[in-house]
Amino acid sequence: MAMKIMEKIRNVFHCEAERILYVCESQSLRNFIRKELLLGNCLTAGKMNISIDLDTNYAELVLNVGRVTLGENNRKKMKDRQLSKQQNENISRAVCALLNSGGGVIKAEVENEDYSYKKDGIGLDLENSFSDMLPFVPNFLDFMQNGNYFHIFVKSWSLETSSLQIATLSSNLYKRDVTSVKVMNASAALEFLKDKEKTGGRAYLRPKLPTTRVCVDVQEESNMEALAADFFNRTELNYKEKLTFTESTHVEIKNFSTTKLLQRIREILPQYVSAFANTDGGYLFVGLNEDKEIIGFKSENSCLTKLEEVTKNSIGKLPVHHFCMEKGTIDYLCKFLRVYDKGSLCGYVYALRVERSCCAVFAKKPDSWHVKDNRVEPLTEKEWIQFMVDSERVYKELPSPAGTSSPVSQSCPLREYINFKIQPRSYHLPGLSEKITCTPETLCRNLFSQHEGLEQLICEEMGSVTKGSLIFSRSWSLDLGLQENNKVLCDALLISQDKPPVLYTFHMVQDEEFKGYSTQTAQTLKQKLAKIGGYTEKVCVMTKIFYLSPEGKTSCQYDLNLQVIYPESYYRTTAQTVKDLEEALSNILPKENQIFLFVCLFILFFHCARPVCFFLR
């Protein structure tokens, strides 16, 4: 029944449920949709169990990871190891998704009773997952227990700290490190990919050795490789015969019991094939004991066919990203070498040769996440590589705002603001002219003359501010590419040295809720500051909603500061913060304004450059 109603709503509004939520301000209707939506989210997320928390007061992207056991001892004592692993995976993915989507908050319900963050900590396995992902955990994450809930505040990923564009849990690109197989960390993967991109996949051709190379008594890796090649080409092997070579960059030897053979080969193939293909090619032999003696495994023909099939399917499924034009498939050959004991067939050795690949071979998709269309989703290998390699292409894709399409901005306070920076024209509040600048001047004059009480209200609000700017707009929401709410009189953004940015919303409609509107605007502003403006420090945007009565009376309807608590570091603001925030704001300007700014800078440069030219002459 409920699903049918949802379907109807979707058809009437022609939009996703998430978007309906922010369109309707009626509490009961919102609650209904929210309930259905969360249900839908859980169904689609399946095992992952991460949903977007739409019930939050925070003007943030909040990811709900469900119930989690916390504390070092409690996590150690967990009997269900699978559950513990899954909880860790969920939280890591949520952290990764928020890092890549402009920051946000993770909300977990604490599973174990009597948990105290102060006394019990988080849990070593979780800490390790965080430090594997981040260069320095405290720079990115803050933890806070609030009753039975645990919050992780995640700052946006920043290019400066790591020289990587995005956060990654695992590249799933493997390499061969002499006799072991290792997954490349994100930095190593970046080097590897850049090299492949630079050479366009041509670097896989091996150099020809000079024929006049002197042969003395030296042993090197190429000898082992040549011996392995000879071994691979043999048609008959003798039981208990000893190998003449050992494991190396090009050779891996395994001995699996016959009962688990198929399963084990299926498990190891993606990593080994990825490693050999990404390094220098090589051989995998299965059916030799620890003393490098040929044992072989007993098998029927049907089993060999099955093994061959598993090999083919497993290698066929590996994601490959090509930088070359040829886009060849993974070059391999799978064989079964017959083992004879005193003339009679007693078993087989599984032999796989993998050639070095022209480009990048993954064991599976890279493990990197983001929030897209209101869902936590993995990046495809193509997206991941683009963001990793393309230094020009900063990861700017924003989680699509729940407030529908992006209309072309009509009024733009930013433009006025930048104009003001170059050619100061601001409104000064009586008694506060030294502390506060209100821009743009014309809009402020209009608003203050039309709405009795607004100027007085602003003066009172700014009383405690030491120094700052208040940037007015008819609709900050519209300026950020969201929908306008025509019942809103105006919004104003305060950037000051004393506290986090505050987004004020003023309206003249009694008995109506504007919380959804102002929360969505503040959340989008924060994300754009990080993803487009490049401001990736810890920051929160507070919201405050005021009702202006026609008689000139004013009353505060909502103050986010009284509803939520942020970690201490989110409240720290300095003169530098103000400067950086202003710069970030100028970066989220629409194009035409940037051109304006560029022209101004150019003129300035030209004036400075002229005397220099003259001097050089």
Q: How far is the CB of 328 from Zn ion (least distance, A)?
A: 6
**Stretch of residues binding Zn ion (CB under 5 A), selected from 194-202, 246-254, 449-457, 504-512:** 194-202
| The only residue of 71, 103, 201, 378 in contact with Zn ion, by rule CB under 5 A | 201
**Stretch of residues binding Zn ion (CB under 5 A), selected from 140-148, 183-191, 193-201, 287-295:** 193-201
Name the residue type at position 449. S
- Residues counted in the chain: 617
Q: How far is the CB of 202 from Zn ion (least distance, A)?
A: 9
Which residue's CB is nearer to Zn ion, number 304 or number 320?
Answer: 320
Which residue's CB is nearer to Zn ion, number 356 or number 474?
Answer: 356
Interface mask (CB under 5 A) for Zn ion, residues 353-372, using x and -?
A: -----xx-------------
**Stretch of residues binding Zn ion (CB under 5 A), selected from 200-208, 253-261, 265-273, 339-347:** 200-208
Residues 111/162, Cβ–Cβ less than 8 Å: no
Q: Which two tokens stand for residue 153?
A: 């505040």
CB atoms < 10 A from the CB of 263, how many? 11
For 453, list phi and psi in degrees, rounded to 5: 100, -25
Which residue's CB is nearer to Zn ion, number 134 or number 184?
Answer: 184
Which residue's CB is nearer to Zn ion, number 227 or number 324?
Answer: 324
Cα-Cα-Cα-Cα dihedral sign, residues 25, 28, 33, 38: positive
Report if residue 322 touches Zn ion, rule: CB under 5 A: yes
Residues 144/150, Cβ–Cβ less than 8 Å: yes
Residues whose CB is less than 8 angstroms from the CB of residue 582 and which lie 6 or more positions away in sequence, other chains included: 421, 469, 495
Name the residue type at position 424. P
Which residue's CB is nearer to Zn ion, number 324 or number 508?
Answer: 324
CB atoms < 10 A from the CB of 578, how many? 18
Q: How far is the CB of 614 from Zn ion (least distance, A)?
A: 55
Residues 524/541, Cβ–Cβ less than 8 Å: no
Residues 215/249, Cβ–Cβ less than 8 Å: no
Residues whose CB is less than 8 angstroms from the CB of residue 449 and which lie 6 or more positions away in sequence, other chains included: none
Which residue's CB is nearer to Zn ion, number 96 or number 358?
Answer: 358
**CA pair distance 165, 157, nearest whole angstrom:** 8
Q: How far is the CB of 526 from Zn ion (least distance, A)?
A: 40
Interface mask (CB under 5 A) for Zn ion, residues 273-312, using x and -?
A: ----------------------------------------
Residue 18 Cα to chain centre, angstroms: 21
Which residue's CB is nearer to Zn ion, number 357 or number 485?
Answer: 357
**Which one is catalytic: 252, 381, 416, 537?**
252
**Stretch of residues binding Zn ion (CB under 5 A), selected from 178-186, 198-206, 214-222, 470-478:** 198-206
Active site annotation includes 252: yes
**Stretch of residues binding Zn ion (CB under 5 A), selected from 62-70, 166-174, 231-239, 317-325:** 317-325
**Which one is catalytic: 18, 60, 225, 247?**
247
Half-sphere exposure of 206 (CA within 13 A, CB side): 10
Torsional class of 373: left (φ above 0), alpha (ψ -120 to 50), beta (otherwise): left
Contacts with Zn ion in 27-46 (CB under 5 A)? Answer: none
Which residue's CB is nearer to Zn ion, number 363 or number 443?
Answer: 363
Q: Which two tokens stand for residue 250?
A: 């090009």
**Stretch of residues binding Zn ion (CB under 5 A), selected from 316-324, 434-442, 463-471, 518-526:** 316-324
Half-sphere exposure of 515 (CA within 13 A, CB side): 18
Please write down the HEC assignment for all residues of 47-88.
Answer: HHCCEECCCCCCCCCEEEEEEECCCHHHHHCCCCHHHHHHHH
In three-state secondary structure terms, 576 is: helix
**CA pair distance 336, 285, nearest whole angstrom:** 10
Report if residue 193 touches Zn ion, rule: CB under 5 A: no
| The only residue of 9, 324, 334, 532 in contact with Zn ion, by rule CB under 5 A | 324
In three-state secondary structure terms, 160 is: helix
For 142, list phi and psi in degrees, rounded to 5: -130, 140
Tell me which residues touch Zn ion (CB under 5 A): 201, 322, 324, 358-359
Residues annotated as catalytic are: 247, 252
